[in-house]
Structure 1
Amino acid sequence: MNLLKAEKVNVSKIMGIKIILLILFSFIITCHMPVKAAVILQYHHIDLTTPRSTSTSPERFSQHMNYLAENQFNVVSLETFLSALTTQESLPPKSVVITFDDGYKSIYENAYPVLKEKGFPFTVFINTQPLADNLSQFMSWEEIIELTQNKGLIANHSVTHPHLIRRLQDESFSAWRERVTNEVLKSQKLIESKVIKTVRAFAYPYGEFNLEVKKILKGVGFWAFGQQSGAASMNVDPQAIPRFPFGGNYGAMNDFILKVNSLPMPVTRVELVDEKGNQLNDHQLPPDVDRPKMRLELSDDALNVSCFGPGGALEIQSSPKGNWFVLKQDLKPGRSRFNCTAPSSKKGQFYWFSQPFIKPNPDGSWYSE
């Protein structure tokens, strides 16, 4: 009997070890599986003395980069990411792209040394007029060229950093299209004349775009990046690629860790309507639309989606077509977003989707910045 009991104990131990090994093997395989998504980070100033809403302190930026290095993230170049979008090939697991907008001097002084030390590739989207004007708060061409010699890529952020969606007084639609096209192409031409290598990638000034601006970017052959948050899948809209903006209230380590570990929400369709149920074909809202409603279609209906907007959690209204997410208060003029998340099967990791909105003043004029 004692021998039989011993044999049973040994069998139990062996089975236990096999289960543990199977779990470990599954974990290792999962951690090294290629993926079809990346998280794109967006910064502006890396400084303590610049406007808080668009500034990340040098200390916090270093903490972000240290977290990536210490937790086996794969920092890939923008060029690698765009190549994967083109070919629909997979990226390394935990892929991250680092980007900066505007080309501020603090990027060169405070971010570049950290990136160079870690060997991380990065992209700076520059608007070219400040360089022509020799503005002291922006990098010089000499500094920009040095970045390109150390894994830095320079891309397009327009010439003058305008609100592209806004027409000038008495400006016709065709004249507006020509002006926006020139903002893109003139900047690109100058960048190509200054650096050895670039890409046809554009970051929308202020993160603002609408359907017509997207058509212009598509027509001249550019990928385009916004400031709406969320991880980017291989099925992303090529002229509305999301990035996670950091600065001001955004970027504390718990916030950064949550976002850099996020997954793209498997959205197959977004439907927007106004208060009366009329279809909205653009996220640039008419002046009289105060409470747009949103419905998401997902490839995984089992996800438990929660959405938040100005005023907090959005209400859920059931309908035969699915759930509508509804604001509890009117949208104010300006830029806003519905941010939607859903827990994944991995603890602490969430699916993420962001729907931007742009609302003019009630009289149709534009708000001031």
Structure 2
Amino acid sequence: MQRLGVVHKSFYAFLLMFFSLIATMVNQAQAAVILQYHHVSTQTPKITSIAPEQFSKHLALLQEKQYQVVSLPDLMTKVAAGQNVVNHVAITFDDGYNNLLEHAIPELEKYGFAYTIFINPQVVDQKSASSLTWAELKALTKRGATIANHGLTHDSLARIPTGTSIAEWVKQKGDEILAAQAKIAQETGQDYRLFAYPYGEYTPEWQAWLKDNDFIAFSQQSGAVGDFTDLTIVPRFPVSQPYDKIANLSDKLNTLAFDLTPLATSKSTVVSYGSVKELVMQVNNLDFHPKLLACYVSGLGKQEVTWLDETTFKVSFTQDLKPGRQRCNCTAPSISMPSRYYWYSKPWFVLQQDGQWFPL
């Protein structure tokens, strides 16, 4: 009887492990990808641009590989509800440049692909020569576009003016975000509470405010989107130059959301020069071989990874992070889906050595 009991316990343990693996596979397969564009033009700054011909190749790849291109509101509704988003892709554009009318939007409509444009209402009101007008934006909503909030102006939310308290700044810019939301609803008839951080810069205070005000917020660090994604910093893959190559896009579309959580000491975003020496992360699933985890830091290359215990690892930096927008990208091949790999990106906004902000 004792031997049978041992066999029974072993079989039960096997079943638990088996169903745990199946659950992991199902959960991780839910990963979706959001693409971030700005200009589609050869006449604009390369770092925020993709050539029209290359943009067309991106859309052709999405169709060829049978990705399901959906609207951002539909995607985030599914993600928030834990629904199936296998092979889902959402296309976004920041800033609402009018060069989108020349090539990007006709191409998107040819394929029947939904897309979202994040705008700054005050810029639209000023009738900038490079901006879409309210009439054009309204017309695009009737053709399937989603118009969403990028702030009333294009000010960074992280850069608090000297002499202004955090509370005062959050109140001021928070009121502007709400004013922008109201203006978009008034002019377009759409009222999706989707917000993209200008310059991708954010702080924990803004994450809390956006959550309290029922916004889903999008950043500019890379990575796929899954059930466990923090909806105050939803990742998007930038795909402007030099990250516009088809091979790079294929890799990004094939990624899985990495279920990692920065420990308290690693959650900061705005940091002084020389203050960040490492990144410590908690792993919430182990569908990868720990030895194959690789982490890279902007400008520093591959960094040393040390496992502190079975579910916690530390990335030690070989040098101080340079002033500017810096990231640590961690990747690992999946065990359950060998042809795919996990991708997680942690951003920092590193002040200059004199304590001042780096240029926008």
Name the structure 2 match of 1:319.
308
> Aligned pair 1:129/2:118, yes or no?
no
Name the structure 2 match of 1:256.
249
Secondary structure class of the residue paired with 1:336 = strand
CA distance in 2, matches of 1:185, 1:157: 11
CA RMSD of aligned residues (A): 2.0
> Aligned pair 1:337/2:330, yes or no?
no
> Aligned pair 1:63/2:57, yes or no?
yes
- TM alignment of 1:6-25, pairs within 5 A: none
State how many pairs are aligned: 330
- TM alignment of 1:341-356, pairs within 5 A: 341-345=331-335, 346=337, 348-356=339-347
Asked if the contact 1:52–1:247 (Cα under 8 Å) also holds between the matched residues in 2, the reply is yes
CA distance in 2, matches of 1:95, 1:107: 23
Asked if the contact 1:153–1:198 (Cα under 8 Å) also holds between the matched residues in 2, the reply is no
Residue 169 (structure 1) aligned to one of 162, 165, 169? 162
> Aligned pair 1:271/2:263, yes or no?
yes
Name the structure 2 match of 1:17.
none
1:142 maps to a residue whose letter is: A
CA distance in 2, matches of 1:79, 1:293: 32
Residue 89 (structure 2) aligned to one of 81, 88, 96? 96
Asked if the contact 1:108–1:143 (Cα under 8 Å) also holds between the matched residues in 2, the reply is no
- TM alignment of 1:146-185, pairs within 5 A: 146-185=139-178
Secondary structure class of the residue paired with 1:353 = strand
2:82 maps to a residue whose letter is: Q
Shift of 1:79: 1.3
Asked if the contact 2:293–2:332 (Cα under 8 Å) also holds between the matched residues in 1, the reply is yes
Secondary structure class of the residue paired with 1:323 = strand
Asked if the contact 1:40–1:96 (Cα under 8 Å) also holds between the matched residues in 2, the reply is yes
1:355 maps to a residue whose letter is: K
Name the structure 1 match of 2:100.
107
CA distance in 1, matches of 2:73, 2:114: 10
Shift of 1:172: 2.4
Residue 111 (structure 2) aligned to one of 114, 118, 125? 118
Stretch moving more, 167-176 or 153-162: 167-176
Shift of 1:291: 2.2
CA distance in 2, matches of 1:292, 1:78: 34
The structure-2 alpha-carbon separation of the partners of 1:174 and 1:265, relative to structure 1 and needing over 3 Å to count, comes to closer
Name the structure 1 match of 2:69.
75
2:36 maps to a residue whose letter is: Q
CA distance in 1, matches of 2:52, 2:338: 30
Stretch moving more, 79-88 or 295-304: 295-304
With structure 2 as the length reference, what TM-score do the two structures score?
0.87
CA distance in 2, matches of 1:302, 1:145: 46
The structure-2 alpha-carbon separation of the partners of 1:83 and 1:280, relative to structure 1 and needing over 3 Å to count, comes to closer
With structure 1 as the length reference, what TM-score do the two structures score?
0.85
Name the structure 2 match of 1:309.
297
Asked if the contact 1:73–1:96 (Cα under 8 Å) also holds between the matched residues in 2, the reply is yes
CA distance in 2, matches of 1:358, 1:316: 22
Unaligned runs of 5+ in 1: 1-31, 273-278
CA distance in 2, matches of 1:170, 1:89: 46
Shift of 1:60: 0.7
Asked if the contact 1:84–1:234 (Cα under 8 Å) also holds between the matched residues in 2, the reply is no
Shift of 1:36: 2.5
Shift of 1:293: 2.6
Shift of 1:343: 1.4
Shift of 1:287: 4.1
Stretch moving more, 289-298 or 219-228: 289-298
Secondary structure class of the residue paired with 1:100 = strand
Asked if the contact 1:126–1:154 (Cα under 8 Å) also holds between the matched residues in 2, the reply is yes
Residue 292 (structure 1) aligned to one of 278, 283, 296? 278
Shift of 1:114: 0.5
Identity of aligned residues (%): 35
Asked if the contact 2:279–2:315 (Cα under 8 Å) also holds between the matched residues in 1, the reply is yes
Name the structure 2 match of 1:227.
220
